[in-house]
Amino acid sequence: MKGKGSLDFGWVIVGVGFITLGLAYGVWYSFSVFFVAVLNEFGWSRSLAAGAFSLFAIVHGVTGPFVGGMVDRFGPRRVILVGSLLLGFGLALCSLTSAWWHYYLFFGIITATGVGTTGWVPNTTLIQQWFKTNRGLAIGIISSGIGVGILVCVPSVQHLINGVGWRMAYRIMALCIPVIVAAMALVFLRRSPQPISPRGTSIPEKEIIATAAEAPPILDEEWTSRSWTVRQALTTKQFRLLCIALPLGPFITQSILSHQVAFFVDQGVDTLLASYIVGIVGITSVGAKILWGTLSDRIGREITYTMGITCAICGMILLIVFSIYPYPALQYSYGILFGMGYAAVAALPAIITADFFEGRGYGGIFGTLMFLMGIGAASGTWLAGFLYDHLGSYVLVFIIMIACALLACLIIWVVAPRKIRNVPGKRHASPPSV
């Protein structure tokens, strides 16, 4: 059987990833409250201010392939340590902003590089190395840390802004977040990750047999037997379709999440209350990410993704209704439903990618997809601001995002990870007849 120490330490890695992602992406999602504060001080147009976040998302995505390569070469511990330093430096510089291009440089480039270097790619790479059978659950747990980050960081930052101003809020974040992330990397990431493949490893033979027995049944032996690289993945139809479907997720969610506080304030909602609605999105996504990850291990990735997309669409429909009839109950229902939808879009891409391309090249492959997802997030955020500046309303934004959500869901079914390997919950199902 697999050594108990190795199994237990895998869940320690999950805990580290949970906290690290919560802190790193707490910076990401705190933009929605800094967005309002910066607009009030400088009087920038929404498209200009949102452009800083669009640049942030692009840079965060661009770092993906490079971070994946660095993780493969130098290990996640060193990469996360470097990222924590960049993150602290960028946040400290944000407090000195006095012109739009300062914010673009300090937040959109330096801070984004720090978040990318401490965020999704190194942490999901660790998980796919340590976990083979409970991968959906493990990734669901660490991604739920982002929800906790939204829940804790966004209202806390709003309180800081109200109490000491947005500049001091950035300085406090610059001190606290990098110190915690670096300390965890130094203490807990000393140990090498558990390999998932017996080839070229020193795992005892009994452990190899046990691991193989626990693995979900392979439905496409030829596919899974390959040691995938980024170059090889690019030649496949599945990867090319993922390059369309997965970026649509952040294109949708980031356009909503980055503008949601401004939307509610436009409807007469108090700024602090609007930040609490963001907190509802965050707390909902905590449990939802674990739920979706677990369900995807039981009923399959496509069905689970469809359920999440349905929740996101319902949440956006409620925003349209709220813009016409601003009943208080609608804003809270939105927070729950969109939090559920956001959770699926956030948690499942890493799992789906691992179903197709697990192994040593996963970091670079998922990093490449993260680059495209960053482009999607940047485009959605900018487009929402652009349309608002010209129309004075977010309604068309919501309609466009609903259409994109339906398209993303359709493509995931066409890509069909179910044809590569059974999820653990279907391990006894018979392979499809050829």
Confidence of residue 220 (pLDDT cuts 50, 70, 90): low
pLDDT at 434: 32
Segment 149-162 mean pLDDT? 82
Has residue 386 got a pLDDT over 70? Answer: yes
In 3D space, the residue among 116, 148, 133 whose CA is nearest the CA of residue 15 turns out to be: 148
Has residue 199 got a pLDDT over 70? Answer: no
Direct distance between the N- and C-terminal alpha carbons of the chain, in angstroms, rounded to an integer: 34
- Report how far residue 98's alpha carbon sits from residue 104's, in angstroms, rounded to the nearest whole number: 11
Amino acid (1-letter code) at residue 147: G
Provide the mean pLDDT of the chain.
Answer: 81
Per-residue model confidence as pLDDT tens digits over 75-98:
778 888 999 999 999 999 999 988
331 in helix, strand or coil?
helix
pLDDT at 6: 52
Lowest mean pLDDT among 69-73, 80-84, 91-95, 232-236: 69-73
Has residue 243 got a pLDDT over 50? Answer: yes
- Report how far residue 405's alpha carbon sits from residue 350's, in angstroms, rounded to the nearest whole number: 18
Domains plus CATH for the chain? 4-190+221-426 (1.20.1250.20)
Segment 85-114 mean pLDDT? 92
In 3D space, the residue among 287, 295, 234, 258 whose CA is nearest the CA of residue 383 turns out to be: 258
In sequence order, what are the residues at sequence separation of 6 or more whose Cβ sits closer than 8 angstroms to the Cβ of residue 119? 20, 21, 24, 25, 60, 83
* DSSP code, position 392: S
CA angle at 82 for the pair 126 and 108, rounded to the nearest 5°: 100
Per-residue model confidence as pLDDT tens digits over 299-316:
888 999 999 999 999 999
